[in-house]
Amino acid sequence: MITKRFHIILVIAVVLYLIIIIKMLKERVTILKYTLLWLLTGVVLLVFAIFPKTLKVLAGFFGIYADANFLFISLIVFLMLITFSLTHIVSRQNENNKRLVQELAIMDKRVRQIEKSLEEKDHK
């Protein structure tokens, strides 16, 4: 069972959480594309907070004795999703970064070559 006290704390915490995330999105501190999972987590938590009954039903469905335990497990799952998506993003950024550095190096050599041949032309 979720106590009255925890219910109130949960609602306040989730609302604060959502306000902070939306504020950061509004000010473009974070990009929506990479914040979607955080928003989804917030919305699900909000449903749990406002209607604790859903927690009870879902906990029962998954065969979990205590509502709070189901809340913990769902939070862990969301955190794992978010961290894994970060690994995915970092991997892609790494690939892009590598390609850029390599292309830049090849371009840089070409520029040096052109500058040198121009210099030689000037001397003639």
Partner 1 sequence: MRRLIIIPAYNEQNNILSVIRNIQSFCQGYDFLVVNDCSKDRTVQVLVENSIPFLDLKVNLGIGGAVQAGYKYALENGYDVAIQIDGDGQHDVSFLDELVAPIEEGISDISIGSRYINKEGFQSSVLRRAGITFLSILIKIVTGNRIYDVTSGFRAINRKMIECFVNDYPQDYPEPESLVTAYKHGATIQEIPVIMRERQGGISSINARRSAYYMTKVSLAILLASMRKRKMI
Query: In the complex, which residues of this chain contact partner 1 (CB under 8 A)?
Result: 94, 97-98, 101-106, 108-109
Alpha carbon of residue 25 to chain centroid: 12
CA distances from 42 to 10, 81, 119 (A): 11, 14, 62
Find out whether 52 and 2 touch, Cβ atoms under 8 Å. Answer: yes
Please say which residue, 3 or 102, places its beta carbon nearer to partner 1. 102
Q: Tell me the H-state helices in the chain.
A: 4-26, 32-50, 52-61, 67-123
Minimum CB–partner distance for residue 107 and partner 1 (Å): 10
Please say which residue, 94 or 117, places its beta carbon nearer to partner 1. 94
Minimum CB–partner distance for residue 30 and partner 1 (Å): 24
Minimum CB–partner distance for residue 99 and partner 1 (Å): 9
Please say which residue, 85 or 94, places its beta carbon nearer to partner 1. 94
